Structure formats: C-alpha cells, structure tokens
Amino acid sequence: MDGARLSSDELKALVRTVPDFPQPGIQFRDITTLIGHSSGLASSVAHLADLARAGGAQKIAGMEARGFIFGAAVAVQLGIGFLPVRKPGKLPIEAMGIDYDLEYGTDRLEVDPGAIDELEDVVIVDDLIATGGTALATVHLLRQAGAIVDQALFVIDLPDLGGAQKLREAGVEVRALMQFDGE
C-alpha cells in the first residue's frame, strides 16, 4: 500500500452519514466516501486482512453488494479464494439458498455449494452489521454447505442494533474497524 495506513478513527471520519435514507429515522452510514479516498479502501482492507489472517481464514465470503468490495480485496491480500454470497437468481447453477426475515417481508441469499470445501475455514466480510439478519443467514448457509464459520469482519458495527451480539451467540467472533453508537 502506498502511503501510511489510516487509523480506525481516520477511517471513521471518512464515512458519510446521510440522515433519513432509505427511510425516515435511518442514519445511513455511506462508505462511498471512504472507498473513494486515496487510501481509505486500501487501509480498510489492510486492517481487515490482518484480522482474517490472524483468524486462519482459508476463504473469504462477502455478501452482495458492498461485501464484494471489501471481501474480494481481503482475499487478494491473503492469497486465498473469494466466495460471493449472492442475491437470489444470480447464479447460473443450482444454488444452495437460505430465506431470512427482514423487518418487512423476507429475503434470500444463495451460494454455489461446489465452491465450498468440507470443513474449510470461511471468514465473512461485509461493510456493515446492523440487525445481523444478513450476516446470521450467511453463517447458517455456509455452515449448511460444510464450512467452518467462526469469524465475521465488518468495516462498521452498529452495536445498538444487536447484530454483533446475535452472531456471538451463534459462536461467531465479530470484529469491526469502527462503531457508531446510538443507531
């Protein structure tokens, strides 16, 4: 990486907060400004890669779409494979999927089961954990596919929404580069 690695506090200052998006009352933590900065993306990836390496990652899984940005870059840094966790109907093969509840309605995530080796240590990477619904569904899906999933990494944690705690209760160690309290 060219130049000094930015600290967590410096990275946090690069996140743009947009009130009332996508609906009233939500403080949207926008990483567009972080990844657009000359060393914001590289520094975030370097921090995440250190954590994934220490956790013994054999593969990185990232969730569509922002998890692809960070997760794929972490996989490159570690010289390991990347597994895209996709929205439904995107994979051209018979996918393995999981339905999960949203605040209103349900959603679904899918993976290529052939892309996961039995007992492979897969570390999850995403931009942000809020309620944890997406990450928890990913944990269950990857475990069903045969992976060992005991670590999840995020750029941003919103601890008051309880997602990180839910993951810990499911036996997953959760680390984030920064957190925003109160949301």
* Interaction site with ligand AMP (CB under 6 A): 26-29, 66, 126-135, 163
> Which CB, 110 or 127, lies closer to ligand AMP?
127
- Enter the tokens of residue 41: 């993306």
Whether the Cβ atoms of residue 166 and residue 157 lie closer than 8 Å to each other? no
Provide the 10 A C-beta neighbour count for residue 94. Answer: 10
Known catalytic residues are 66, 103
Q: Which is nearer to ligand AMP, 103 or 118 (CB)?
A: 103
Provide the H-helix boundaries in 55-162: 66-78, 133-144
Closer to ligand AMP by Cβ: residue 44 or 134 = 134
CB of 170 to ligand AMP, least distance (A): 13
Taking the complex as a whole, the smallest distance from the CB of residue 134 to ligand AMP amounts, in Å, to 3
- Compute the Cα dihedral for 19, 67, 44, 55 and give only its sign: positive
Q: How far is the CB of 28 from ligand AMP (least distance, A)?
A: 4
Cβ proximity of 40 and 70 under 8 Å:
no
CA 49 to the chain's CA centroid? 13
In the complex, the smallest distance separating the C-beta of residue 161 from ligand AMP, rounded to whole angstroms, is 7
Dist CA 172 CA 85 (whole Å) = 18
Q: Which is nearer to ligand AMP, 20 or 94 (CB)?
A: 20
